Amino acid sequence: MEIADLTKKRIIEYLDEKKRFDKRKLLEYRNIKIRFGISKQAEGSASVRIGKTEVVAGVKLDIAEPYTDSPDKGSMMVTTELLPLASEKFEAGPPRINAIELSRIVDRGIRESGFIDFKKLCIKKGEKIWMVFIDIYPLNDDGNLIDTSFLAAVSALRDAFFPKMDEKKEKVEYGKLTEKKLPLKEMPFMLTIHKIGKSIILDPITEEEESSEARVSFAISPEKKEAIINAIQKGGEKELTKKEVFEIIDVAIGEWKRIYPTIVEKITEAEKRPEEKIIQSG
């Protein structure tokens, strides 16, 4: 505990001088790597690395009954499994609060952005729809698991194809894919901003994340070349002043405009060359 306190104090002192342990600027992202189609069992899958943090996400599609309040829309479920192999902080067993929170942040960002056109997932109004299942598995946690998981989830959705369906039995033929992709719109991107001492940073490593007093996650997507904030999630123990909130919003939009075009460009390039599904940005 004493070492952790000393480390936090040193991190705050470094940040006050506009320095970070890994030599990055306060708002600088680590290198991003994305790989598509990593699972033969999923309808869509992707692996994302931000620095040393790595997350795998898979998408499965199945037929289900629609919810009563949305009889003509498909639906989605996001689950996260935080395995001990990813970090000594995680324990085996049922999902704990951090896994549930992560799933909800990813779910809300995708849902509120309108990334998936749920109306086009309706098979028969009031009776049958396509249900999208997104499973998230961190392989290594070296900070910024939220942004990494979100990018893995949306990448897996972009990689997904509808499975074949037996029309007579109205059952999915697992392992057999059609050439029809999921109905997707403009891709959202998540930026989580952390407040440590008096400093605001992006993409923290583990030590910085553990020193964070407050964080705010923004799911942002484009609309007519403008940045639209779809969802916001506050985390951390410390409160934020009104001035800090507006400052963080300005930072999020500014950094999204800088980072987002590169991510979309690299993903698009990789999708044109399915035999070369590894992309890099940074």
Domain holding 224: CATH number?
Answer: 3.30.230.70
Across 5-18, average pLDDT: 87
270: pLDDT confidence band, cut at 50, 70 and 90? low
In a domain, 16, yes or no: no
Q: Looking at the chain, which runs of residues are DSSP E strands?
A: 32-36, 44-50, 53-64, 75-80, 122-124, 128-140, 161-166, 171-181, 189-196, 199-202, 214-223, 226-235, 278-281
What was the pLDDT predicted at 170? 72
CA gap 33, 214 in Å, rounded? 27
In a domain, 10, yes or no: no
Lookup result for tokens 């000594």: 88
198: pLDDT confidence band, cut at 50, 70 and 90? very high
In a domain, 98, yes or no: yes
In a domain, 1, yes or no: no
Count of domains for the chain: 1
Amino acid found at 117:
D
Write down the pTM of the prediction.
0.92
In a domain, 29, yes or no: yes
**Greater confidence, 174 or 153?**
153
274: pLDDT confidence band, cut at 50, 70 and 90? low
In a domain, 56, yes or no: yes
Radius of gyration of the chain (CA): 20
Provide the domain limits for residue 229.
Answer: 23-278
272: pLDDT confidence band, cut at 50, 70 and 90? low
Q: Note the pLDDT tens digit of each residue in 212-226.
A: 999 999 999 998 878
In a domain, 3, yes or no: no
55: pLDDT confidence band, cut at 50, 70 and 90? very high
In a domain, 9, yes or no: no
